[in-house]
Amino acid sequence: MVLLAKAALGLGGTLVLAGAYTMREGVIRVDVDEFRSGGSHVHMWVPAAAIPMAMHFVPDKHWRHASEHVREAMPILHAVVKELRKYPDAVFVEIDDNNEHVRVRTTGGRIQIDVDAPDEKVHILCPLSTIEDVTVQMEEHGSGA
């Protein structure tokens, strides 16, 4: 009985540790709602730390393909994210009118993009550290290719 309890405790502890490690960088949150017939509704919560880990399993040919498409944007994105991390929370862009509201801001080390329009709502929250990790990996693979 004691042995079983120890095994369960060990398994539980491992799961909790794995969960805590996976969630250490927070989550990437994507919510998209299109209010029209056939419009998509995407609601996604992904542990941020899982993305750079998952990228290790992307085949080289896909890396090359992706790197070709984003080669020009990568250094800019990398520079922006690296710099953004140095600043306190701030609203960088805010566009308002009677119907639409767009906001790009940083909050707690994350970039948050909100679009509220009559025909769609988009909310994206992503840790800056994750974007930086991804851009670094893409640049490395791009230069390797």
Site residues, other proteins (CB under 8 A): 2, 5, 9, 12-13, 16-17, 19-20, 23-27, 29, 72, 75-76, 78-80, 82-84, 86-99, 105-108, 110, 112, 125
Closer to other proteins at the Cβ: 26 or 52? 26
User: In this structure, how many other beta carbons lie within 10 angstroms of the beta carbon of residue 65?
Assistant: 11
- State the nearest-atom distance from the C-beta of 9 to other proteins, in Å: 6
How far, in Å, CA of 26 to CA of 49, rounded? Answer: 8
Closer to other proteins at the Cβ: 55 or 77? 77
- State the nearest-atom distance from the C-beta of 59 to other proteins, in Å: 28
- State the nearest-atom distance from the C-beta of 16 to other proteins, in Å: 5
Coil, strand or helix: which one is 86? coil
How far, in Å, CA of 61 to CA of 137, rounded? Answer: 15
How far, in Å, CA of 53 to CA of 107, rounded? Answer: 24
- State the nearest-atom distance from the C-beta of 92 to other proteins, in Å: 6
Closer to other proteins at the Cβ: 60 or 89? 89
- 123: nearest Cα among 103, 107, 94: 103
Closer to other proteins at the Cβ: 35 or 45? 45
How far, in Å, CA of 145 to CA of 140, rounded? Answer: 9
